Amino acid sequence: MISSTTLPGVREQARHALLLLGVPAPARLVVDVHTALFDGDLSMSGLAAVLRDEERHYDPHALAAYRICPALHYDLTAARGQVTLSGWSPARRLLSPSTAQSNVLTAVVRIAEFVAIRAQASPAALDLLRRLADAVPGGPEAFLVHDPRALADAARACLAAGFADQEIPEAVERRWDRLDERQRLFGASLPHQRGRG
């Protein structure tokens, strides 16, 4: 008897979580979101293996609907531990100190709204939101009654109050335009680095 699984592979599981998050996210958050909200077996080691394989086996001539890749700092080096999707625009894939908090708040809004539309939140989903609430000013208070919408509203209010859309500096855009596709996916090497880029 041949058995088959209906669960998506690790790469697709990571994609599901990233599509929900909508912003670059720490690998641990990608795994935690998938574990709490989707079926599957995504793990830190599995996600790390996918990231390694995407870079090691990169073929510029192979068609791929998407790739799991690292976010990039404004110096266009890889932001290790921060995961994105290749199809996102540079503005979504690039990280600066000022975008880090807005990314967290955006992720909280999206996760809380996703949980809110479900008929009943699972204990794992509520536990995830409880932990994420700590990253939102007023979040723990907003989530006292286990209302995902209240947490989403608190995060949205913080975004509106202090985080405007960040434009990429022109110098960064010019450097981005000079990168080849592999460097845009996996990061460029700084002049003193060896082996990558």
Task: Give, for all 197 residues of the chain, the pLDDT tens digit.
Answer: 444 556 689 999 999 999 999 999 999 999 999 999 999 899 999 999 999 999 999 998 888 899 999 999 999 999 989 999 999 999 899 998 778 889 999 999 999 999 999 878 899 999 999 999 999 998 898 888 788 999 999 999 999 887 656 677 888 889 999 999 999 999 988 665 455 44
| Separation between Cα atoms, residue 63 and residue 151, nearest integer Å | 40
Instruction: Report how far residue 177's alpha carbon sits from residue 171's, in angstroms, rounded to the nearest whole number.
Output: 10
What per-residue confidence (pLDDT) applies to 144?
80
Domain assignments of the chain as residue spans, ordered by start: 10-186
Rounded Cα gap, residues 86 and 95, in angstroms: 14
- Provide the 3-class DSSP secondary structure of residue 68: strand
